[in-house]
Structure 1
């Protein structure tokens, strides 16, 4: 029998959401409630005529589009097959056996899997009221800490800390610790927090900012993410990135999507309206729902048993939310925001379960 190296053999595969069957409406993966920009669909379709060619390894037009929208240096933009590829490469490049990667109680679970792949220890700093605590992160740093990951807005909590706290965190970390700010849901908060403040941290040489096209831009199937990097870190990361990691069609669609800011902002506004209404209706049922700055809400029930009853009631109506037991929140379900008719069905199912 051919065996893997021991630390890989002892790992569990990264757990994706239960998607149910073909009759199920999934609210488990935080996909966009609305289709992507028509301009992005057309650009991706037009690019399909060049499928005999390898994709541009420099993501030239996509980088240019990102730079146009965010006023950043395109040479410091790297693109990945979703931000997951960039996270994995960062951990492989800057940590290893005996090192520590520091996240938070409810940070993105893939960071733990990527750390295990290189035999780095993944450690969680405490969150306070389901919200990142800068003080707790700083206290948790040890001489072995190489990377700190912060999700802002948070997933699965939806909570947000202001940019001033991100800046305070960077100032409180040792100079040899890399800070990675994962902003997969940032477009849902950019209207209240200036993104340039966080992007400017990369000028220090010790901070990376990651974003994705999977959420607000509705391109989850395209597998396109990006990050803004200090030049020296970008140089090291390029050694690990697949040189043809994003298809021709996905690059074209992503470039057109980010240039269509009006469409994205409309999606964000419509999603936010449905999200906030649904959150209030769930609070009226007695559930605890933190204020969300994303395209989902976290529903906290009175007990694990009540959350399980709610899950069963939803499934009976072919609706599927994401259980949060893997995050230590077995009394919670996470609900991706969908069109209003779906959210109304979810509310009825929850009322029945809680009654």
Structure 2
């Protein structure tokens, strides 16, 4: 069980590195139209505390009603709010994003970490509470079976974290959205559009849940995040995203091949990232950081031998491979 202090194994308090493989943001970004919207946001005024226009825009995009859209200050804030709102155990498919476990710890909930979909369903039946499924999973890249997601949503309550689903293509995104209609669907589009410094996310709830909506802090996001969320569902932004996927696939495949060529075990995935076994993740991550390359230490996922790397352009990959030769 993680402690209260956040532990993400990537971002740190040091000066920005020359090459950052720790972030799963779209390496082709930022999206020009979304960036322009954020830069043009009027930051001299408060946002609407009810976010009526934003929720209407998102509801129209998802073909639902505005009272089922809940706005949050990034995925982590919504995860914690959801856990506080629901009683019982917290179930997760491990290894996965550490904020689910951290939220359970902060709220004094029992954490059940399962390693297969079948075990997850048994845990839901044995100890009801709130389940979390990350799709595709961070850090493993697993695309959990759609039939399992639908069954878990029916057994619920369930949160399906779709942080990286838009990076898997429109057809896969549509499929998981259909499978998770009975769940809370969690969207944090700052990753797909390459603007992780703007903290805004939202839920599409399976039913109207005003208590959960009203549990948010007042003015939970600023006008910059409002602009990002509105721009992210526009057709030009989604077209840009779809066109960026071929480049991401090319860079991720190139990185995986290069790592295998130097004898490392690689676990690939469908989004922007992959896992590589380096033996001692913390030691290797520190040595790479000294060389100006930041990577994601997998220890906070419960993977102390692995680092997570995002797809990056060829020049950055050459720098990483050179630094790895001395760090291993």
- State if a TM-score over 0.5 links the two structures: yes
Q: Which aligned pairs between 1:326-337 and structure 2 lie closer than 5 A?
A: 326-337=300-311
Aligned residues: CA RMSD: 2.5
- Aligned in 2, Cα 1:283/1:67: closer, same or farther, shift over 3 Å? farther
Q: Distance in 2 between matches of 1:52 and 1:308?
A: 43
Matched, 1:314 2:303: no
Matched, 1:169 2:145: no
Counterpart among 262, 276, 286 of residue 263 in structure 2: 286
- Aligned in 2, Cα 1:102/1:287: closer, same or farther, shift over 3 Å? same
- Between structure 1 and structure 2, the one with the greater Rg is 1
Q: Distance in 2 between matches of 1:340 and 1:71?
A: 40
1:155 CA drift (Å): 0.8
Partner residue, 2:68: 76
Q: Distance in 1 between matches of 2:213 and 2:146?
A: 28
Partner residue, 1:256: 231
Partner residue, 2:165: 186
Deviations 1:137-185 (A, max 9, x none): 12333543311111111111122123233123335x3xxx411111110
TM-score by length of 1: 0.82
Partner residue, 1:198: 177
Q: Contact 1:33/1:338 (CA < 8 Å) preserved in 2?
A: yes
Matched, 1:46 2:40: yes
Q: Which aligned pairs between 1:126-165 and structure 2 lie closer than 5 A?
A: 126=115, 133-141=116-124, 143-165=126-148
Counterpart among 49, 55, 66 of residue 58 in structure 2: 66
1:308 CA drift (Å): 5.6
- Aligned in 2, Cα 1:229/1:22: closer, same or farther, shift over 3 Å? closer
Q: Distance in 1 between matches of 2:31 and 2:324?
A: 33
Partner residue, 1:239: 214
- Aligned in 2, Cα 1:169/1:221: closer, same or farther, shift over 3 Å? same
- Aligned in 2, Cα 1:330/1:150: closer, same or farther, shift over 3 Å? same
Q: Distance in 2 between matches of 1:224 and 1:163?
A: 27
1:135 CA drift (Å): 0.7
Q: Distance in 2 between matches of 1:101 and 1:139?
A: 13
Q: Distance in 1 between matches of 2:136 and 2:215?
A: 27
Q: Distance in 2 between matches of 1:293 and 1:169?
A: 22
Deviations 1:291-324 (A, max 9, x none): 31222111123x33xx466435523421111111
Say how many residue pairs are matched: 323
TM-score by length of 2: 0.88
**Does 24-33 or 334-343 show the bigger shift?**
24-33
Q: Distance in 2 between matches of 1:230 and 1:309?
A: 44
- Aligned in 2, Cα 1:311/1:90: closer, same or farther, shift over 3 Å? closer
Q: Which residues of structure 1 form unaligned runs of 5+?
A: 1-9, 127-132
Partner residue, 2:19: 25
Q: Give the secondary-structure state (helix, strand or coil) at the position aligned to 1:30.
A: coil
